[in-house]
Homo-oligomer: A and B are copies of this chain.
């Protein structure tokens, strides 16, 4: 219960994480209340059934957060920083009633030169009760050593993909009955072919975050990272207050992206994500996206993929698409997320 320190990890180590979790209609309602998401496939059983899902699937990022949360007690309880994600793929749909569990393999370890911390790379996998893999991703974190004098437990940095290939996408999306996809009901007429590479979309709305909200969210994911919940300790820490779970920002940005990407009903993969700056309660999150590229999925005429960069910023509307300022990020930017979404063709 004190979590692993850097020297506790070993290359190739496999960790089965605690607390399996059955996802239900209750989680779906809370997710809606927390983010106000409006994608029709996840919102409506009738809409989902019409296009070929057996029922409304669980929001992809809710699956991500639950799987991620399970890994926290073993992987990142002693993390100084959560540095990045790569190679995140959704492999099978998750429905209410499914039970999720998680495991991680340690695929990289490198001690930092100060010998106080080290980088830990893990490939985490989310599993359904029948053993089906529903999600996998790599993340890397900087973890404290318990004892500076301890030997480094390994020295290997894995090669990670910049982005998933289109051929790797779509496993979690059943064949879609395009003729039954009601674009009016979904909120936008724009299909895959209507987006152009390089196109920039201001998602317009802003959402202010309250302490109670991010705490409810992060506990819903059974994520035990202490910085999110413990004002007593954090008051004395680096920021003087509770830090909001980075995944909360991802879900807000995704919900805001409905304004412009209403038919991007499925996050098929996350190529990479950076939590550029922390978010605190009282801040207002805005977001915008750029279409990085378009891709066909091999063998699928029903849906196409858009590779999208979504930028979230705090206390700054995004009509002028803030991103970089010289070599650095614009100081308002808090999230830089590169991912693939699927849209009907």
A interface residues with partner B (beta carbon < 8 Å): 1-2, 16, 18-22, 24-30, 32-40, 43-47, 56, 73, 96-97, 99, 101, 129, 184-188, 204-208, 210-213, 215-220, 222-224, 226, 229-233, 242, 259-260, 262, 282, 284, 286, 315-317
Smallest beta-carbon distance A283→chain B, Å: 8
Q: Report the copy number of this chain in the oligomer.
A: 3
Contacts of A242 in B (CB 8 A): 208
Are A284 and B232 within 8 A (Cβ)? yes
Q: Contacts A29-B30, A101-B185 hold; do A262 and B231 have CB atoms under 8 A apart?
A: no
Which residues on B sit within 8 Å (CB–CB) of A284? 230-233
The distance in angstroms between the C-alpha atoms of A58 and B162, with both chains bound, is: 44
Please classify the interface of chain A as helix (H, G, I), strand (E, B), loop, or mixed, using the class held by over half of its residues. mixed
Q: Shortest beta-carbon distance, A124 to chain B, in Å?
A: 15
Most B Cβ at <10 Å: residue of A2, A204, A218: A204
Cβ-defined contact, B1 with A33, below 8 A:
no
A189 to chain B, nearest CB (A): 11
Q: Find out whether the CB atom of B27 lies under 8 angstroms from the CB atom of A40.
A: no
CA separation between A180 and B197, bound complex, in Å? 53
- Tell me the smallest distance from the CB of A80 to a CB of chain B, in Å: 18
Across the interface, do A18 and B46 meet the contact criterion of CB distance under 8 Å? no
Point out the residues of chain B lying under 8 angstroms from A40, CB to CB. Answer: 18-20
How many angstroms between the C-alpha atoms of A271 and B192 in the bound complex?
A: 45
Inside 8 A of A260's CB, which chain B residues have their CB?
1
Q: Which residues of B contact A21 (CB under 8 A)?
A: 43-44
Q: State the CA gap A97–B188 with chains docked (Å).
A: 25
Q: Are B208 and A230 in contact, CB atoms less than 8 angstroms apart? A: yes
Q: Which residues of B contact A101 (CB under 8 A)?
A: 44, 185
Instruction: Enumerate chain B residues within 8 angstroms of A205, measured Cβ to Cβ.
Output: 224, 226, 229-230
The reply to whether B185 and A16 form a contact with Cβ atoms under 8 Å apart is yes
CA distance A218 to B26 in the complex (A): 17
CA distance A232 to B1 in the complex (A): 40
Q: List 27 A-B contacts (CB under 8 A).
A: A1-B188, A2-B204, A20-B44, A20-B46, A21-B44, A22-B45, A25-B96, A29-B29, A30-B33, A33-B220, A34-B219, A36-B224, A36-B229, A37-B222, A38-B222, A205-B226, A205-B230, A206-B226, A206-B229, A206-B230, A206-B232, A208-B229, A208-B242, A213-B216, A232-B286, A232-B315, A233-B317
